[in-house]
Amino acid sequence: MDQIPMHLGVSHFTTPKVAVEGLQEALLQNDTFYGPTKGTLSLRQAIAKRHLEEDGIPLPESQILITHGCKHAIHLYLQSLLLPSDEVIMLAPYWFAFPDLIRLNGGTLVSIEANPEENYALPLEAIKKAVTPNTKLLILSNPGNPTGKVYTQKELQAMADLAVEHPLLHILSDEIYDGLQYAAAPYSFLRFEHLRDRVAVVNGFSKSFAMSGWRVGYLIAPLEVLEKATDLQLKTISGVSPLNQAAAAQAMEHRQEIWKSFKEDLAPKRERVQNVLQSIPGLQFFVPDAGYYYALDVTNFLRPAKLASPYQTAEDWAAALKAQVGLEVLPGTNMGMPCAVRMSFALPDHVLESALLRLKTFLEQ
Amino acid sequence: MDQIPMHLGVSHFTTPKVAVEGLQEALLQNDTFYGPTKGTLSLRQAIAKRHLEEDGIPLPESQILITHGCKHAIHLYLQSLLLPSDEVIMLAPYWFAFPDLIRLNGGTLVSIEANPEENYALPLEAIKKAVTPNTKLLILSNPGNPTGKVYTQKELQAMADLAVEHPLLHILSDEIYDGLQYAAAPYSFLRFEHLRDRVAVVNGFSKSFAMSGWRVGYLIAPLEVLEKATDLQLKTISGVSPLNQAAAAQAMEHRQEIWKSFKEDLAPKRERVQNVLQSIPGLQFFVPDAGYYYALDVTNFLRPAKLASPYQTAEDWAAALKAQVGLEVLPGTNMGMPCAVRMSFALPDHVLESALLRLKTFLEQ
């Protein structure tokens, strides 16, 4: 049986034409030489302009480092910030790459679970209890991955207030799925200007711009951290391809039309999946505020909740889903949601239709 | 006064058309998604094919990791190999990025000077004396940077024999300037097949292919080290852009015509510079076997050799060269040649002509 890949971290969209045109323009200008370590000025200006226009935040280009993708931005940031024995608080579920990145850079992960039954609301009291004198950093993804949760301004304000109470605490906000929200835009953590000396944002072009193969991300960070990260980039890898940055800059300039067209495709799919999921008794899920994943809690399909179930873990369940109906999803074990899976709906219509039929068949057997 | 940039690490060539065509082909196929962590099969196959054709070495693609440039290949290799307190022997002069890369990855640099008066011949006896039980790695650049020295097969054989005597010693051969040799091709260290479990090669497309802005390099390493490096690439950055790799694969396929055309331009320039340098009494230099740099030893223009000189260091001398005649060269302090500078001749004809006039004027004043 053919496999339908609902486990992937990319959408079915190819890179927007306008981005490719940015590359072609740079090629015509023979821009094939090393670029600046920090990134091209035009891309950093486009990013700064976006934050000015959308968030009303004046952001100096000097505070922006273009990196080889968003994962690399996180890596350089953590390497610049963390010292051995530093604790890093993360809200679960989280993106699966974070635990390794934290560990590789000497940090200790302290995971705090958000409750799916409360729509993954910010667990402020639990966070407060988890902060110790060793807590260096608090990481949140907004919009969330795999949840698609967009925090309310009130939730983020509470987080900012907590940071005021703990003057040594840094905050990293991973905003890579922004632009793909279905209602209100996420409130960038950069807006808390009084915390600017302790707040960093990572972002990139892989998700909201369908440019995963171009390897362009960025880090916005306090100047001291950013200088360290830039020095590490200089010493270990050099700056990002100016050609690929030219494509990214054009994508950023045309972001509104790109996001509009992506969401016109994704919004009905999100609804369609929701309708199918709702029709399956016992399946728990959260309708994403942004992005293209559903986090499905399959507890009720595993032992002991379902005594007759052949599956004890979400891995078992996902393996059977793959083997029996050819549907690939991502088990949530390394995303801090052991009884759930991540399922992407960024697929062509006919593929999604077939996928949902298969899922229903499998779950109702 | 305008500045002539003879300090740069790139040539004046723009990326060959055939490489750009490789990119265009990939764009037509919408190859805009994440690629494999290890690199695309077609680029790894092109690299393997090159070593088979030129060196007679069968090289499995599984032993090749495509990285975000050659510096990144070195970084991942050192990070995978070195443990704290490991000593790394390097032959000076060396590429300026090596000391930081070694230090960042926990190694201790042991520098051994090659003698310019012996044409930078391999200082085998000095190396033998420097090997201790803590020596983990020996690094050589072949062709050399900044010297342009290509080691003879006999010299490399002596190095290989030394490695046999020290069964825990690893060897890293940096071969990024290969292809740009003016006589015999460098003998790749991969040819010592009996050492394959301890020999790594780093290379890339920035120099011999004029693709510095594309950020594509590669690591060929023993499988155990390569797997560690691949895991680090996966966890900290992800694989290289498949678009940029498509360009690199085409460049590799067409390497002979690219190198031929580059060398037709560079060879007369190398000779022209040699003629001018020879006409200046007291200036010591080595005619490069490969690449586009001259390493100029300016000892005789500094105090105490020249008592009336206003300059005490090569930095002073280079700063005056820049200020007085607008010629920028790279002082060799961080390349293990404190009394020398690196000077590129990969410049358009009229620029090189003007540069040589300026150099002569400055030195004969």
Sign of the Cα torsion A321, A323, A326, A330 reads: positive
Residue range(s) of every CATH 3.90.1150.10 domain in chain A:
4-13+256-363
What pLDDT was estimated at residue B67?
A: 98
Contact assignment for B32 to A9 by CB distance below 8 Å: no
Which residues in chain A are contacts of B204 at CB distance < 8 A?
A: none
Is residue A109 helix, strand or coil? Answer: strand
Contact A68, A215 (CB under 8 A): yes
pLDDT of residue B1: 80
Task: List the single residue in B214, B215, B238 with the smallest CB-CB distance to A71.
Answer: B238
pLDDT digits (tens, 9 = 90+) for A287-315: 999 999 999 999 999 999 999 999 999 99
Q: A-chain residues within 8 Å CB-CB of B68? A: 68, 215, 237
Report the alpha-carbon distance of residue B130 to residue B179 in Å, rounded.
31
By Cβ distance, the residue of B32, B69, B97 closest to A235 is B97
Does the pLDDT value for residue B267 go beyond 90?
yes
**Mean per-residue pLDDT over chain A, rounded:** 97
Closest Cβ–Cβ partner in A32, A69, A101 for B214? A32
pLDDT surpassing 90 at residue A1: no
pLDDT at residue A183 in the model:
95
B68 vs B38: CA distance, rounded Å: 11
* pLDDT at site B180: 98
Q: Is the pLDDT of residue B364 over 90?
A: no
CB contact under 8 A, A30 and B14: yes
Euclidean distance between CA atoms A151 and A185, whole angstroms = 10
Structure tokens at B324: 């007085």
Exposure string for B325-360, b = 16+ CB within 10 A, e = fewer: bbbbbbbbbbbbbebbbbbbbbbeeeebebbbebbe
> Which of A10, A232, A241, A244 would best serve as a mutation to test chain B binding (most B beta carbons within 10 A)?
A241
Predicted confidence at residue A26, as pLDDT, reads 98
pLDDT over 70 percentage in chain A: 100
Banded pLDDT at B337 (limits 50, 70, 90): very high
A215/B241 CB distance under 8 A: yes
Q: Are A139 and A89 in contact (CB under 8 A)?
A: yes
Cβ–Cβ of B27/A14 closer than 8 Å? Answer: no
HEC-encoded secondary structure of chain B: CCCEECCCCCCCCCCCHHHHHHHHHHHHCCCCCCCCCCCCHHHHHHHHHHHHHHHCCCCCHHHEEEECCHHHHHHHHHHHHCCCCCEEEEEECCCCCHHHHHHHCCCEEEEEECCHHHCCCCCHHHHHHHCCCCEEEEEEECCCCCCCCCCCHHHHHHHHHHHHHCCCCEEEEECCCCCCECCCCCCCHHHCHHHCCCEEEEEECCCCCCCHHHCCEEEECCHHHHHHHHHHHHHHCCCCCHHHHHHHHHHHHCHHHHHHHHHHHHHHHHHHHHHHHHCCCCCEECCCCECCEEEEECHHHCCCCCCCCCCCCHHHHHHHHHHHHCEECEECHHHCCCCEEEEECCCCHHHHHHHHHHHHHHHCC
* Burial (CB count within 10 angstroms: exposed 0-12, middle 13-18, buried 19+), residue A304: exposed
Q: Could you tell me the sign of the dihedral formed by the alpha carbons of A227, A230, A235, A236, in that order?
A: positive
Q: Check CB contact under 8 Å for B243 and A214.
A: yes
Residue A287 is predicted with a pLDDT of 97
In this prediction, residue A57 carries a pLDDT of: 94
Q: What is the mean pLDDT of residues B288-316?
A: 96
Tokens of A121: 């609301």
A75/B33 Cβ within 8 A: no
Are the CB atoms for B241 and B35 separated by under 8 Å? yes
**CATH-assigned architecture of domain B17-254:** 3-Layer(aba) Sandwich (3.40)
From the CA of B286, how many Å to the nearest CA of chain A? Answer: 27
Chains A, B: CB contacts within 8 A come to 105
Amino acid B216: pLDDT: 98
**3-class secondary structure, A74:** helix
How far does the CA of residue A128 sit from the closest CA of chain B (Å)? 30
From CA A57, how far away is CA A49, in angstroms rounded? 9
Q: Is the pLDDT of residue A365 over 90?
A: no
CB neighbours (10 Å) of residue B295?
A: 25
In this predicted structure, what is the pLDDT of residue B279?
95
Burial B72-101 (b: 16+ CB within 10 A, else e): bbbbbbbbbbbeeebbbbbbbbbbbbbbbb
* CA-based radius of gyration for chain A: 21
Q: What is the pLDDT of residue B365?
A: 79
Torsion of CA B191, B195, B197, B201, to 10 degrees: -40
**Interchain CB distance below 8 Å, B213 and A101:** no
pLDDT at B142 over 90: yes
Report CB contact under 8 Å: A241, B214. yes
Enumerate the CATH 3.40.640.10 domain ranges in chain A, comma separated. Answer: 17-254
**Stretch A225-248: mean pLDDT, rounded?**
98
Across the interface, which of B10, B101, B236 has its CB nearest the CB of A34? B10
Q: Which of B160, B163, B162, B150 is nearest to B286 (CA)?
A: B150
Q: Is the pLDDT of residue A282 over 90?
A: yes
Choose, out of A21, A68, A244, the residue to mutate when testing the contact with B (most B CBs < 10 Å).
A68
The verdict on domain A4-13+256-363 having CATH code 3.90.1150.10 is yes
Inspect the interface and report whether the beta carbons of B71 and A9 lie closer than 8 Å: no
